[in-house]
Amino acid sequence: MKEIQFCVIRGNISEIKTLALGNGSTKGVDADVTDAVTETSLDNAVTFVKKFALKAKCIIAVTGAIDLVTDGNQCFVIRNGRAEMSKITGTGCQLSALVTAFLIANPNNELKAAAAAVCTMGLAGEIGWNNMLPSDGNSTYRNRIIDAIYNMDGETLEKGVNYELR
């Protein structure tokens, strides 16, 4: 049996900058506000992660308000998700599991598989939030995200994804 090897590095922009540059302003799982990928900093962030992906010979997946997934040549700029996702534990771990599952299912299309996983997680955050009741809290939100992933199908994903390719 042929051994399959994948290389995807996933983290917030501060974690990725720290890894790429050898130092940075990462604060555990929280990105530094000055590093945030915004519409204003988007072009520079895309250029940065593309260069790092080429140097690392890996797919780089940056998660935050705007997600970036690149192999160094193409970059998916993904605008799915909710700010509230950063307030609950487990979304990063869930995303890592999704990326792995999508890669295993699509071993010949790693970039698109990783981007689809990031889109799925973000869309699940949107769906989960839309199903929240006024009395629900962050634990319920986490579970609603899990339920949204469980119920996700291709049609829902196609209708709900919000990305551009650069």
Q: Is 126 exposed, middle or buried (0-12, 13-18, 19+ CB in 10 A)?
A: middle
Residue 33 CB neighbours (<10 A)? 9
* DSSP label of 89: T
pTM: 0.89
Write down the residue that tokens 């700029």 correspond to: 77
Distance CA 15, CA 2 (A): 32
User: Tens digits of per-residue pLDDT, 111-126?
Assistant: 999 999 999 999 999 9
Task: Please check the confidence at residue 54 and state whether its pLDDT lies above 70.
Answer: yes
- Dihedrals phi, psi of 140, to nearest 5 degrees: -65, -40
Task: Please check the confidence at residue 95 and state whether its pLDDT lies above 90.
Answer: yes
Distance CA 123, CA 120 (A): 5
- The arithmetic mean of pLDDT across residues 47-56, rounded, is 94
The CATH H-level superfamily of 8-165 is Ribokinase (3.40.1190.20)
Write down the residue that tokens 């690392």 correspond to: 56
Q: Where are the domains of the chain?
A: 8-165
